[in-house]
Structure 1
Amino acid sequence: MTLLKCYLSHYTNRLIRQIRYKEACVHVKLVRQHRRHLLSKQQIVDAYPQIIVDVPKISLNRIQLDYLSKSGKLQKGNYILRETDKSGIFHIGNSVDYEKKAEAYRQKTGAYIELDSNPLWSVFDKVILFLNDLRSKKYILSWQLDKMMPKRDTVQLAYLYFIPKPHKAGTPLRPIVSSMSMPTTGISKFLDKLIRPIFDKHARSTTIIDGVDLIHRLEAYTTNGHLIPKTYLCTFDITDLYTMLPQEESLDILIEFLLQYGYQKVQNIP
């Protein structure tokens, strides 16, 4: 165990040295840019914030990560260790910068508030009462009740956290809402298995699954004579879609979709 601690301590110190080296490089870069700016009197683009150091995930195992995060060396240096979005590496950045970006996101969206108390058990009790009521009215069967019933020893309150996107300029943060262990998770999974096949069936003609499917669609589009010199192909992105979907409106759209295709019940469930 002593050898392991020595190794991890050495590894941590090496990472800290890499961080300081990168900081020094950034400082030198900014100083040079500032000097060139003074000489040329031209506006320059600020290079901050940028990645301090990226650590390949494969180079750290769970024990090393736990030691690195709990040893206090990152905290003393005001650094934060996070797994990155998509690129498969760990990112060590400035914790103050993280907090500023997270707060800016909360202010921008207005979709999240800090709770004064934990509503977990209140939500848990409401879900239990709701499911038992459905069962007593024979809207669902016993096995369906068991599928959706939350387990007291495994439920957790949903929470919001952020992961960095170092492949984009300024290293923005991606918001993630973790709700995999909510009291309503069982209901969500059960409804997904019921409704998703219906959606896939009726929305397949207007849905692109992946890149290969896109190529096949374009080939068919061309064969049918729709692709002409005046054809415009457009893409768009919706900012913060999945963390800001209006729940009531989403339910109304889902009901409208089911009624449009004649589904008053799904597998005998109204």
Structure 2
Amino acid sequence: MIFTRFTSYSTPERTQTTSLSQGLRHHVQTGHNTAGLVEESELVATSSREWYIQRTRDRAFQNHYEDYGERFIYISATLEDVIDKIKSDVVHLASNKYSSFYNTSPDEKKAIQSLRNRDDIVIKPADKGSAVVIMDKANYIAEAVRQLSDERFYQKLDYDPTSKIITALQTIYNDGHIDEDTIGYLEPENAKPGRLYLLPKIHKVNNPGRPIVSANGHPTEKISEFVDFHLRSQVENLPSHIQDKTDYLRKMESMNPLPP
């Protein structure tokens, strides 16, 4: 579904709507990029393993280890079977000279390029559901400024806090609370500010944006990872903890009968 929130932007063309309806994560293949397919399959395998260990690292290390790059990653036999099957299919397709990897029509590619060339609109996924939202850039910026101006949640800094964070880490290290390897991991290098973006809430009046701050490369990014790692086992033991939708359904099924 395409949802428009604008004042000056006209209704999207049919080809633009068709292209956007495939989702913002749709990857356009432009021909026989066989080397790219094989390379991407390796990236999928790596990200799948890393995702798996993030979900199971507190329970899995006692079972089996494999040295994967510079990290010890728990390898699930089922996951490896799936990865091997994907790689096998990719190699088969890449070796077939008659295979075509075009997944977008010429008109759709032109539509995507025309949208990319516009600097007066912003395209984002909706906060809920699978809709793609087209907004006036001016409205998007105005909503971001409105939220950032709320001093209950945001504070404007006129300095780089990185040195202050490093000083605090050095104090913790000197007091003997963390070792040399830990501070070496936690100290930020080439840090950059967090990046704010908004996901429009099309189910609410005036479609306010849900603020999300990307902390990739932020001075406190690794500190957050460190805290999360050590708190995860405690949080998962709380009666109110729900890991994901599957966990929620499992708990609902165990509550028989359901409380009033």
TM-score normalised by length of structure 2: 0.50
What is the CA-CA distance between 1:173 and the residue it aligns to? Answer: 1.5
Partner of 1:253: none
Bigger Rg, structure 1 or 2: 1
Compared CA separation, residues 54 and 69, structure 1 to 2 (3 A): closer
Q: CA deviation at 1:90?
A: 4.7
The secondary structure found in structure 2 opposite 1:20 is: coil
Counterparts of residues 62-77 of structure 1 (less than 5 Å): 71=117, 74-75=118-119
Shift of 1:101: 3.0
Deviation of 1:148 (Å): 0.9
CA, structure 1 residues 62+156, in 2 after alignment: closer, same or farther (shift >3 Å)? farther
Contact 1:54–1:89 at 8 Å: present in 2 too? no
User: Contact 1:54–1:90 (CA<8 Å) still a contact in 2?
Assistant: no
Identity rate, percent = 21
- 2:225 aligned residue: 189
Task: Output the CA distance in 2 between the equivalents of 1:146 and 1:162.
Answer: 33
Aligned positions of 1:1-270 closer than 5 A: 20-21=10-11, 55-56=20-21, 57=24, 71=117, 74-75=118-119, 78-85=120-127, 87=129, 90-106=132-148, 110-115=152-157, 117=158, 119-120=159-160, 123-151=161-189, 153=190, 155-166=191-202, 170-201=206-237, 203=238, 205-222=239-256, 227=259, 231=260
Q: Contact 2:195–2:213 at 8 Å: present in 1 too?
A: yes
| TM superposition shift of 1:208 | 2.7
8 A Cα contact 1:82 1:90, kept in partner: yes
Shift of 1:179: 2.0
Q: Which runs of 5+ in 2 are unaligned?
A: 1-8, 31-108
Give the count of matched residue pairs.
168
Higher relative contact order (CA 8 A, sep 6+): 2
- The 3-state SS of whatever aligns with 2:20 is strand
Contact 1:22 1:53 in 2 (8 A): no
Residue equivalent to 1:237: none
Please give the alpha-carbon distance, in whole angstroms, between the structure 2 residues aligned to 1:133 and 1:113.
25
- What are structure 1's unaligned runs of at least 5 residues? 1-18, 24-51, 232-270
Partners of 1:143 and 1:150 in 2: how far apart?
13
Task: For residue 125 of structure 1, report the CA deviation from its aligned partner.
Answer: 1.3
3-state SS of 2:217 partner: coil
Q: Can you list the C-alpha shifts for 1:214-262, whole angstroms capped at 9, x where unaligned?
A: 3333333325xx63xxx1xxxxxxxxxxxxxxxxxxxxxxxxxxxxxxx
SS across alignment from 2:123 = strand
- After superposition, the CA RMSD in angstroms is 3.8
Q: Distance in 1 between matches of 2:29 and 2:155?
A: 32
State the TM-score, normalized to the length of structure 1: 0.49
State the Cα distance separating 1:176 from its structure 2 match: 0.9
Offset at residue 188 of structure 1 (A): 1.6
Judge conservation of contact 1:54–1:91 (CA < 8 Å) in 2. no
Higher helix share: 1
Q: Judge conservation of contact 1:53–1:93 (CA < 8 Å) in 2.
A: no
